[in-house]
Structures are given as C-alpha cells and as structure tokens.
Structure 1
Amino acid sequence: MNLVVFAEDVDSLALKNVAKLTGAHAIEQITPRSFRLLAAQNHAELARTCSAGGLDYAWVPAGRRLKDFGLFVTDMDSTLINIECIDEIADMQGLKAEVAAITEAAMEGEIDFRESLLRRVSLLAGLPEQALEEVYTHRLQLNPGAERLMKGLQRAGLNTVLVSGGFTYFTARLKQRLGFDHAFANELEVIDGHLSGRIVGDIVDAAAKATHLQRIRDQLGLQAHQVIAMGDGANDIPMMNAAGFSVAFHPKPALRELADCCIEHSGLDGVLDLFG
C-alpha cells in the first residue's frame, strides 16, 4: 500500500512534513495535485498532520489505476450536492429546523433511516409541487469538483450510478445534467399538484443502496474490488462496504473510520488524483 496525499494546492512543506513523519523513502508526483509517498508507514499523528497542512490522504494499493475500476456509485445529498433536499423543501413549510434535526440523527446513525424518511416526508403534506423546482433552481448547487469528477470517470470508462435516499425529482435532473448511467431514489407522491406526504413504491434506504450497487456490478460482470462508492453518512455504510474502495466526502463520524479515503479539503474530483 502506498500513501497518497492530495489537495487543490499542495503545500510543499506540509508534504515534506508528512513524508518525514511516515518515514517515506521518496515522493513521487501522480498528478499536479497529488503525490505518492513510497514505503510510507502509518503513524498515529498522520491524520492530524495532514489536516494541519490542508491535505487529504489515502492508502492506495500499489499499481492501482482509475481504469482498473469499472463502476462508480455515489450518494447525492451533502455528497454530490451541497444540501439535504428534504431540509430545503421543509423550509417552504417553515419546518426546516424540525426536519433537519431528524435528518442529522439519521445520517449519524442514531435513528433508522426508513423511519426518519417517512416521518420527514409526512411533514411535507400539502406543499405545492412547485416547491421542488424552487429548491432545484435556487438552492441546489453541485459540490466543488463534481463536474470534473464525472468527466474524468467517463473518460476512464467507468459506469456511473447516482443512488439516493432523497428524491427522484432531483436525481433525474442531475442524471441528465452530469451524464450518470443510472439514478435511483425515492418518489414523492403528488396529488392535484401538491405533495401527499407519502412515498410511492419501495423506499431507497441503506440496504437498497447496497442492493443497487451489487446488482449493477453483477450486470457489468465486475468484482467488488472494481467498484468505488462515495457517501457522507451512516445511510451509505452498506454500499461502501460492498465496494472495493470507499470515499467519504466531509463525512459524519459514523463513516469516518470506515472509509478508505476521507475528503475534507479537496473537491470531489480529488478521487481522480488518487489513482493517476
């Protein structure tokens, strides 16, 4: 395993400090924004030292390249995009604080996601469907590096999947906008132009996310080590466990120790800098 250190703008002194701390034999540049520290050894102060230098890092198997993967699966809310859509929809009802508290508890793994989703969606009953367009147009933004990440993955030939415990209204638009091959999410029931407070069909929860990953992986004839999964909260743990390499973007504590790579300082496109 090699230690890969990356950032939007790597500070040379910070990089040398990490190399010294880990006893690396050499520093090898991978991309303009990432470096491989050869023969580095893990150290209890590695995370703190990297954070102090504005660096992200990951342990990557020697010789691993992006083209070795065939599938990339990512969460949407607070991962691909900057918001939790349901919280912003609830804001139209004057209920953002109440719904956001439930969302946070679910992402921390403190309450069951399915239960939390049904509770939150029920609070949206009566809201005009137009509120969804308002959120998409005026509140939703891609997180930094999203477009570059998608273009890089597509150039490398990876199949891309957007899977979310959020809503199809948003995943369908992002699928078209960014060129995902597949998108899966929950469908909000709309009656006479207003949200009913119910979900149509099966709920996409943590288990369903992993199931979608495994099904498409198998359809493509891939093995687990050929899959990258990215998320930010407890609801992403099963699908990340099903992937060969997992990336946590600004993760909740429940995910931080599990992921192969935590991105705290770079954009989403930092994934491209890991493998060259």
Structure 2
Amino acid sequence: MNLVVLAEDVDSIALKNVAKLTGASEIQQITPRSFRLVGAQAHAGLAETCAASGLDHAWVPEGRRLADFGLFVTDMDSTLINIECIDEIADMQGLKAEVAAITEAAMQGEIDFRESLTRRVALLGGLPERALEDVYTQRLQLNPGAERLMQGLKRAGIHSVLVSGGFTYFTERLKMRLGFDHAFANELEVIDGHLTGRVIGAIVDGEAKAAHLTRIRDSLGLAPHQVIAAGDGANDIPMMNAAGFGIAFHPKPVLRAVANCSLDYSGLDGVLDLFG
C-alpha cells in the first residue's frame, strides 16, 4: 500500500511533515493536486496531522491506476449535489425542519431508511408537482469537481451509474446533464399535478443500491476490485461494501468508518487524483 495525499492546493511543508511522520522513503507527484508517499507506514497521528493542514489521504494498493477500474457508482443527495432534495421539497410545505431531522437520523444510521422515506414522503402529500422544478432550478447545485470527475471517467472508459434513495425527477435530469450511463431512484406518485405522499414501485434503499451495483458490475464482466462507489451516509454502506474502493464525500461518521478514503477538503474530482 502507498499513502496518497491530496487537496485542492497541497502545501509542500505540510506534505513533507506527513512524509516524515509516516517514514515515507519518497514523494512522487501523481497529479498537480496529489502525491504518493512511497513506503509510508500507518501512524496514529496521521489523520489529525492531515486534517490540521487541510489534506485528504488514502491508502492505495501499489500500482493501482484509474484505468484498472471499469465502473463508478455514486449516490446523489449530498454527494453528487449540494442538497438533500427531499428536505428542500419539504421546505415548500414549511416542513423542512421536521423532514430534515428524519433525513439526518437515516443518514446517521439511527432509523431504517425505508421507514424514514415513507414518513418523509407522506408529509409531501398535496404539494404541487412544480415544486420539484423549483428545487431543481433554484436550489440544486453540483458539488465541486462533479463535472471534471465525470469527464475524467469518460476519458478512462469507465461506466457510470447514479443510484439514489432520492427521486427520479432529479436523477433523470442529472443523468442527461452529466452523461451517466444509468440512473436509479424512487419515483414520486403524482395525480392531477400534485404529490400524493407516496412512491411508485419498490423503494430504492441501501440494499437496492448494492443490488444495482452488483447487477451492472456482473453485466460488464467486472470483478469487485474494479468498482468505485461514492456516498455520504449510512444508506451507502451496502454498495460501498460491494465495491473495491469506497469514497466517502463529506461523510457521516458511520460511513467514514468503512470507506477507503474520505474527501473532506478535495472536490469530487479528487477521485481522479487518487489514482493518476
């Protein structure tokens, strides 16, 4: 394993301090924003030292390159985009605080996702469908590095999947906008131009996310180690466990504990900088 250190702007002194702390024998530049510390050894103070300098870090297998992967699967809300869509939809009903509290509990792994989704969607009943468009056009923004990440994945020939416990209204638009090969999410029921407070079909929860990953991985003839998964909360744990390399983006503690890398200071395009 090699230690990779990355950030939007890596301070050379901070980098050398990390190399000294971990006993690295050599510093190799991977990209303008990432460096490989050859021969580095685990150290109890590594995470604290990196955080103090605004550096992300990850242990990456020797020789692993972006071209070794064939599939990238990512969550949407608070990973690919800057918001939890359901919280912003609820805000149109004056219920953001109530819905956001349920969302947070689900992302922390404190309550079952299916239960949380059913409870939250029920609160949206009666809302005009146009509220979805208002959220998409007025509140939704891509997280930093999203477009560069997708461009880099395409250049590398990596298949991409957007899978979300959110809603198809948003995933389908982002699929077209960014060029994902597939997108999966929950479909809100709409009757006479208003949300009914129900979803149509099976709920996309954490297990469903992992199932979509596995099915597409197998259809492409890939092995688990050829898959990257990205997310931010407890609902992403199953698919991260099914992937060869897990990226946690500004994650909840429960996901940070199982991810191979947490991106706290880099944009989503830090995924490209990890492997070169």
Mapping 1:230-245, distance limit 5 Å:
230-245=230-245
Counterparts of 2:253 and 2:192 in 1: how far apart (Å)?
Answer: 41
Please list, as runs of the form range in 1=range in 2, the aligned pairs for 1:158-237 lying within 5 A after superposition. Answer: 158-237=158-237
In the alignment, is residue 108 of structure 1 matched against residue 108 of structure 2? yes
Structure 2: distance between partners of 1:94 and 1:116: 18
Match of 2:13?
13
Q: Which residue of 2 aligns with 1:62?
A: 62
Number of residue pairs matched by the alignment: 276
Deviations 1:187-236 (A, max 9, x none): 00000000000000110000000000000000000000000000000000
Q: TM-score, normalised by structure 2?
A: 1.00
What one-letter code is carried by the residue in structure 2 that aligns with 1:69? F
Q: Deviations over 1:59-99 (max 9, x none)?
A: 00010000100000000000000000000000000000000
Q: Which residue of 2 aligns with 1:29?
A: 29
In structure 1, what is the equivalent of residue 136 of structure 2? 136
Q: CA deviation at 1:264?
A: 0.2
Q: Which amino acid aligns with 2:20?
A: K
Instruction: Please list the CA deviations of residues 36-63 of structure 1 after superposition, one character each: whole Å capped at 9, or x if unmatched.
Output: 0000001011000001111000000010
How far has the Cα of 1:181 moved from its partner? Answer: 0.1
**Counterpart in the other structure of 1:53:** 53
For the aligned residues, what is the CA RMSD?
0.3
Give the SS at the match of 1:144. coil
Does structure 1 residue 87 correspond to structure 2 residue 51? Answer: no
> Which ranges of structure 2 fall in alignment gaps of 5 or more residues?
none
1:69 & 1:253 partners in 2: Cα distance? 26
1: CA distance, partners of 2:26 / 2:159 = 34
Unaligned runs of 5+ in 1: none
Which residue does 1:270 correspond to in 2? 270
* SS in structure 1 at match of 2:197: strand
Q: Tell me the distance in 1 between the aligned counterparts of 2:120 and 2:221.
A: 38
Q: Which letter maps to 1:160? A: S
> Partners of 1:48 and 1:194 in 2: how far apart?
49
- Distance in 2 of aligned mates of 1:61 and 1:271: 14
SS in 2 for 1:40: coil
Could you tell me how far 1:257 is from its partner in structure 2?
A: 1.3
1:108-142 Cα offsets, whole Å, 9 max, x none, are 00000000000000000000000000000000000
